[in-house]
Structure formats: structure tokens, C-alpha cells
Amino acid sequence: MFTINPFAELSATIPGGVIQAYVILMILLVIGGTLFDVLHKGSARYFFDNWSRTQARGGRPLGGGKIAALAVQTAAVDVLTSAEFCNQHRRIAHLLTMYGFVIYLVTTLVLVFGGTGVSGLCIFLWYAGALMACAGGFWFWFFIRVDVLAEGHSPFRLVRADLFIVSLLASVTSGILWGAAQSMGGGALAVGFLILYVGASTVLFGSVPWSKFAHMFFKPAAALQKRVEKANGTRRGLPAPADRPGTLGSSRRLPQNY
């Protein structure tokens, strides 16, 4: 199962050019959806307005080098290790989903555009990435999601905020099942999973303006803003950290209502 390229198998029935055109269409949908999202919600304008307000508050001026260093810190810590999450379970689930999805996306591009010369490692990584995304995503979905954990809703209640995670999980899960069915000889089962896979992937990449897909762009911007405000002393109006650590402190504990 982990050695057969399902896209190569598929090209026996559907021309490779059609598969590649579909992938390019998905990339265009993400780019177009993100640009629409940025313009429609005004997230870029909000970021720059906030930046100007921070400067107007009169904090210590930061040089270009310092801001570049903060940007590197943001990328290395807040983005690559999801350090902003206060809940370690959420952080691990997010890292699993994020890296799994990235591996899955990159290897999908290699498998689709790589032709017949794709290495076995790449095929293995496609499955491994999808399984990682499944592990993190289902863990989040059933056990960590805050409307389930903090508000006590059923894990099967669907709201618009679930559009991204549901379509992501449907895409990677049906992708794995389709790959497995392809490696077992195809047939009606493979066709069924392929329809689910294409449908879920189209919803995932086509619903960017309505899902939280665009959070990968505005969250790093917000994290950078936070670091800049901490460095220049404005700290969003927050008081300075206490200079005399007490002896009666405690680590933060998770809410346990349900």
C-alpha cells in the first residue's frame, strides 16, 4: 500500500493532464480565496492600522535589524513550533496536523507532477503526512475542540467554524482510503473514495473565504505584532511584568468543567 503511487495508477483511466489541471485549479482557488479574504475582512488593513497605532503610542523605536530578528523569532518559535498555544495538547495536535498537512501537500505535488520517476520514499511520506494530519485532526476534533471541551457540546455538532477541519479530515482520510483501494486493485470502492477525495479537497481549497484556512497568514502577523509591542515597551497597554517574583505562584491549570 505504501509503495504504490495512487495518482500514477489513476492516470491509467484519467489523463495525467486533467489531474494536473485540477491541482493547479486548487492552487489558484487558495490564492484567489486568500486575496479575497484579506480584502473582504480587511485583515491586512487591520494589521497595518494596528502597527501605526503602536508607533503612535510612543514606544522605543526599533531598528530594521531588530524587527527582522523579531520576524525570525516569530517564524522559528510562533509559527514552526506553534508556541502561542497555552494548552500543550492543542499545541501537539496542531503541530501534527500542520506538519502532516504540509508533508501531504508537498508530496501530492511531487506525485502528481513527478511522473513515473517518483521515489518510494515520497509515496511513503504522502501516506505518513496524511496519517499525521488524521492523528492531530481527529484528536482535536473529538477531545480538544473548545466548544466540546469548555462548552460541553456534542463532538458531532457541526458549525461553520468546523468547515476547515472537517474538510481537511475528510480530504486526508478519503485520500488514504482511496490510496489503499487503488493498491488493492481499484474497482468500485476506489471510485467511491476518489469521488469523496475530490469532493472534500475541492471544499477544502475552495472554501478559503469562509473557512479559517487564512489563519496561516494573519496569525503570524498578529504574533509578530505582539513581539514588536513587547520589544518596544508598549505591550498593548498591559502593565510591565512584576519585578519581584513571589513564592506562592503556580503553573496555569486547564479548565475541567466537563
Binding positions for other proteins, rule: CB under 8 A: 43, 46, 84-87, 90, 145-147, 149-151, 159-161, 212, 218-219, 221-222, 225-226, 236-242, 244-252, 255, 257
Per-residue exposure over 88-117, b if at least 16 CB sit within 10 Å of its own CB, e if not: eebbbbbbbbbbbbebbbebbebbbeeeee
CA nearest to 226, candidates 57, 47, 61: 47
Q: Which is nearer to other proteins, 9 or 147 (CB)?
A: 147
**How many other C-beta atoms are found inside a 10 Å radius of the C-beta of residue 85?**
15
Cα–Cα distance between 120 and 153 in angstroms, integer? Answer: 43
All residues at 6 or more sequence positions from 121 whose CB lies less than 8 Å from its CB, including other chains: none
Q: How far is the CB of 218 from other proteins (least distance, A)?
A: 6
Quote the Cα angle for 120-122-126, to 5°. Answer: 115
Q: How far is the CB of 55 from other proteins (least distance, A)?
A: 18
Q: Which is nearer to other proteins, 83 or 196 (CB)?
A: 83
Q: Which is nearer to other proteins, 107 or 232 (CB)?
A: 232
**How many other C-beta atoms are found inside a 10 Å radius of the C-beta of residue 30?**
16
Q: Is the dihedral of CA 88, 92, 98, 99 positive or negative?
A: positive
Q: Which is nearer to other proteins, 118 or 149 (CB)?
A: 149
Q: How far is the CB of 160 from other proteins (least distance, A)?
A: 5
Q: Which is nearer to other proteins, 90 or 178 (CB)?
A: 90
Q: Which is nearer to other proteins, 56 or 242 (CB)?
A: 242
Cα–Cα distance between 221 and 76 in angstroms, integer? Answer: 13
Q: How far is the CB of 235 from other proteins (least distance, A)?
A: 8
**How many other C-beta atoms are found inside a 10 Å radius of the C-beta of residue 20?**
15
Q: How far is the CB of 102 from other proteins (least distance, A)?
A: 20
Contact 221, 48 (CB under 8 A): no
Q: How far is the CB of 193 from other proteins (least distance, A)?
A: 29
Q: How far is the CB of 173 from other proteins (least distance, A)?
A: 21
Contact 193, 172 (CB under 8 A): no
